[in-house]
Amino acid sequence: MAKTSGSDLLVRFEAGIVEAVEYFRLDKHFQSARVLQNVEREIETALKSIQDETERSRVQAGVESVYGRYGETKLIRQIEGEVLNVLELARSEEDWTLSYDGSSAKVWYRAERAENSSKSNGLHAFKARAELNAPVVNLCALLNETELFAELFWFVRKSAALQDLGRFRKSFHMQWQLLWPLSDREAPLLGYGVDGLDEDNCFMTVTRSLAREDVDSSGKQLEYPEPSSGRGQPVRMRAECLGFHFEPIEPTKTRATVVARLDLLLPFVPVALVNYSSRYFIRLSLHMLEVKAREMLGASPDSNKHLKAMEREDRREVYAWIQSRLEEHWKRHGKLEEFQNNKIESAQFKRTTSMENVDTSANGPPAAVDKKLALQLLKKR
């Protein structure tokens, strides 16, 4: 069998990079990440097999030249770990402790450990799953309109846009209020959407803390707000990842999974309080998403701020894209007409919501903060 020439290797490598970049520009980040992984693995193996040092150097230089022509590869490589990590967290079953087991919602908790150590690294991982009677496009709209988060979630004190970086990619700043007597937490964040309908049957949003070294697709550094200092100022927390995974079950029914790995900078707060608070906030988040998404059905832009935001000139492309992708999805599943009607049967409104479930968990961290625990918390502060 004839060996592949260095020139042929470079042609094939560039074709793979082009494919990864095209997926990236379409927000199909799962496919983009997988294509990039495969093409880089192939070129690495091919380079090792080239015996002639001069030819190997020539091909290596050609590889670097291809990377230089497609600057998005740096972002794809960065996003690759983020999106696949959130997808793995959403689908994994191992090492999670079930801390809330309701009839229509479940919450899991996991204290993260430092590498090769039994000590905590400060991160806490949370996961919740519920089936929501709401269409995916409405849920995506609620999460895309970051400026309206304070109206969506009562525990969000402030939310302000920093930079629009693409169709479904932006940086923004948020401030949260925690349970008394804890100070507010704040963080600049970077978030983007993922179209995973083709291979992974989902839409997903991924958010993490904005870093000083973050850049846009052209390599320009992003704006980074410095934390405030002084007594009474909110504490800057770290969000390693926060993801919402939406799997369409029916045109107006969605299986929603939210995963988070956060360092709230609460070194002296007992795990029981972190578990209790997170379980409450994460369930409440899913519940409010469902309520607000359902309110959008049949409402008008004049009476609904999220619908009004969707009508803005700079937002129409985003929602037209999501709508068209969902139309393709439901057409493949023979439910296009039902999707276009966009109706929820009245019987679905009678079901018990996730916030009305009774905690039936018999294991995991304590479910509530008792008097002794509260005194312990106050003493350690």
251-267 per-position pLDDT tens digit? 889 999 999 988 877 77
| Amino acid identity, position 190 | L
Report the pLDDT value the prediction gives residue 342, as an integer from 0 to 100: 67
Separation of alpha carbons 176 and 155, rounded Å: 6
pLDDT at 358 over 70: no
* pTM for the predicted model, two decimal places: 0.82
pLDDT at 162: 95
Return the minimum-mean-pLDDT range out of 135-144, 161-170, 176-185, 327-336.
176-185
Q: How far apart (Å, rounded) are the C-alpha atoms in residues 109 and 129? A: 12
What whole-number distance in Å separates Cα of residue 178 and Cα of residue 189?
A: 18
pLDDT in tens, 20-39: 999 999 999 999 999 999 99
List, for residues 125-163, the tens digit of each pLDDT value.
889 999 999 989 899 999 999 999 988 888 899 999 999
Q: Could you tell me the CA-to-CA distances from 161 to 141, 182, 185 in Å, in that order?
A: 15, 25, 17
Does the pLDDT of residue 356 top 70, yes or no?
A: no
Instruction: Find the Cα–Cα–Cα–Cα dihedral 321, 325, 328, 333, rounded to 10°.
Output: -150
> Contact, 170 vs 163, CB < 8 A?
yes
| Listed residue (268, 300, 255) closest to 106, CA to CA | 255
Residue 231: pLDDT band (50, 70, 90) is confident
